[in-house]
Amino acid sequence: MSSQSEHAVIDGAGGAVEFLIRRMQRNQDFPALSETIRTLNRLSAASDKSTEHLADVIVRDYALTNKILKVVNSAFYAGFAGKVGTISRAIVVLGLEPIRSLAASLLLFEQFSTNNRADKVKALIGKSMFGALLARETAGDAGLQNREEAFLASMFHNLGELLVAYYLPDEDAAIEREVTVAEVAAAQAQLRVLGVTFEQLGIAIGKHWNFPHAITYSMKRLPRDKPRSPDSIEEHLRQIAAFANAVTERLAAGGALDDAPSRALLRRFADAVAFDDDRLEEVVANTRSEYRVLAEVLATSSAAPVALRALAGSRAAAEEVKGAGEELAELALPDEEAGTEPACVEPEPILLDGLQEATAILATGAELHEVAQVMLETLFRAFGLRRVALCLRDANRRQYVGRVGFGENIDRFLSTLRFGEKYEPDVFHVALAKKTDVHIEDLAIASTGHGIPAWYSRVSPTGSLLFLPLVVRDRPVGCIIAEHAAPRGLRIDSGTLRLVRALRNQLALGVQLRSKGSG
């Protein structure tokens, strides 16, 4: 790691952590995973732009988007009426924090569930997910307001161990030999082999990934005896994460909830956990139900590590999880194309879902911004676009200005996306004047004298383009600009074009309704 900020994550472990991080960065997927999680963690619920930015980060990863929408539309979130077809809508319905924590955990889940050391890594990730669900239930009983923070605290409680198992399998095997053959204590074995403990590595990576202090603090191990009564939210989260992890380990090992060790756990964490052993059974039962739903939705291969079957509960439930695992090969992220859109995506089903969602939320009186987010995200996903943006007319400045969008460098793109109302002999002004949709198959050819504005050619010199005027009462009020990175990359037939126009018309209706309301 080269920057000062990256060096700052090293605390108390000297160059050993830095060396290990450099080793992990040699794996082609680690830098991408790091950057995405860091971006997610930079988003603040207090920011007006966070909902828009969160949706943009997620929809660029085709597989992650599909998994999140599957979870949101599953029994896991039962109680929310209607199908949710876009990430933008999911954030509005469920809130930013639940979707952000779900995205972070599924990123980790998807990354590590395809590892060659299947049993070890999948057991760790399965237990992390179960513990996270258990921690969220526990936090609710304890009266903590942010249950999603408890979910993340437990999900990443054993981050260091998971990272070593996945990225440094030789060192992980050496640590196992030290513990089992030489009978060395686990922390001492980690220090011998790595120069740091799993805990130190996890905290360092957590800081590098911009996790808040509460999450990295929760990775610190508690003393073996009864911990002090929590005197801060951070300490409370730490103890709940430790409790959830301990209960999960007991269950994975086949332990019972009504035996002496489980009752001892409740006594040890009595100041942090607000229930008795009867309530523990209820909480674990709820967690098992949620875990089974997620296993089915995500095709979790929990059949590989036998210990994880205990987490599913009954034998029938365990068989359900085992059956779900058979689909893993089909649904898991491809090794070399993780996060990219498959070449065979059919746009029509995505367009239909988006149209139904836009129509439904428009009928409920949703804000224009929400309708625009749904419409643009639908186009982005349906056609695997480089970016898509909405421009609206600014009457005061007498120009069209980029307002919202998705895709590559979208903030910078929106800041440059502005052009005057005054007619110029270019494709954009002709399309607006004639209220005509324009599909340009190759921007590089079109920029050589066929009417693409010079300022736009400087921003997007290559690829293909769809320009859709937004017309209200026979007057243009804006436009939608959709770009694909490849020449002739936009596959638009008459059927898909009808759906695209229907989506555009719903947005135009939203603009019209807003203008009536303001009038």
Q: What is the pLDDT of residue 131?
A: 95
**Whole-prediction pTM:** 0.80
Asked whether 389 and 402 are in contact (CB, 8 A), the reply is yes
What is residue 253's predicted lDDT score, i.e. its pLDDT? Answer: 85
- Quote the CA–CA distance of 47 and 41 in Å, as a whole number: 13
Domains of the chain as residue ranges with CATH: 4-331 (1.10.3210.10), 347-518 (3.30.450.40)
pLDDT of residue 3: 41
d(CA 273, CA 285): 17
Q: How far apart are CA 157 and CA 398, in angstroms?
A: 54
- Give the residue among 297, 296, 338 at the shortest CA–CA distance from 319: 296
Q: In Å, what is the CA distance from 329 to each residue of 12, 129, 223, 324, 340?
A: 41, 20, 41, 11, 17
pLDDT at position 313, please?
A: 65
* CA dist., res. 493 & res. 484, Å (int): 16
**For the chain, how far is it from start to end, CA to CA, in angstroms?**
56
Amino acid identity, residue 319?
E
CA angle in degrees (0–180, nearest 5) for 435-437-443: 130
Distances (CA, A) of 241 to 64, 124, 202, 214, 251: 25, 15, 14, 11, 15
* CA 158 vs CA 29, 169, 277, 443, 477: distances in Å: 20, 16, 25, 49, 53
DSSP code of 226?
P
pLDDT value of position 330: 28
Residue 248 per-residue DSSP state = H
Residue 195: DSSP 8-state = S
Quote the CA–CA distance of 94 and 513 in Å, as a whole number.
26
DSSP string, 228-244: PPP-SHHHHHHHHHHHH
Task: Compute the distance between CA of residue 260 and CA of residue 250 in angstroms, rounded to an integer.
Answer: 12
User: How many Cβ atoms sit within 10 Å of the Cβ of residue 412?
Assistant: 10
Low-confidence ranges of the chain (pLDDT < 70): 1-14, 44-48, 78-82, 113-118, 299-310, 312-344, 447-450, 515-519
Q: Which two tokens stand for residue 519?
A: 């009038």
pLDDT score, position 420: 94
C-beta neighbour count of 195 within 10 angstroms: 16
Query: How many residues can be counted in the chain?
Result: 519
Instruction: Look at the block and give the residue holding tokens 């999140």.
Output: 68
Query: Which pair of structure tokens corresponds to residue 398?
Result: 């007498």
User: Are the C-beta atoms of residues 80 and 98 closer than 8 Å to each other?
Assistant: no
- Check residue 241 and give its pLDDT: 97
Helix (H) or strand (E) holding 301: none
Q: Which long-range contacts (CB under 8 A, 24 or more apart) does 451-456 make?
A: 451/425, 451/426, 451/427, 452/426, 452/427, 453/419, 453/424, 453/426, 453/427, 453/428, 455/416, 455/419, 456/428
Between CA 53 and CA 39 the distance in angstroms is: 9
For position 118, what pLDDT does the model report?
A: 60
- β-bridge mates for residue 404, sequence order: 390
| Interatomic CA distance for residues 436 and 504, integer angstroms | 13
Number of H helices, E strands in the chain: 27, 6
Residue 254 burial class via C-beta count within 10 angstroms: exposed 0-12, middle 13-18, buried 19 and up: exposed
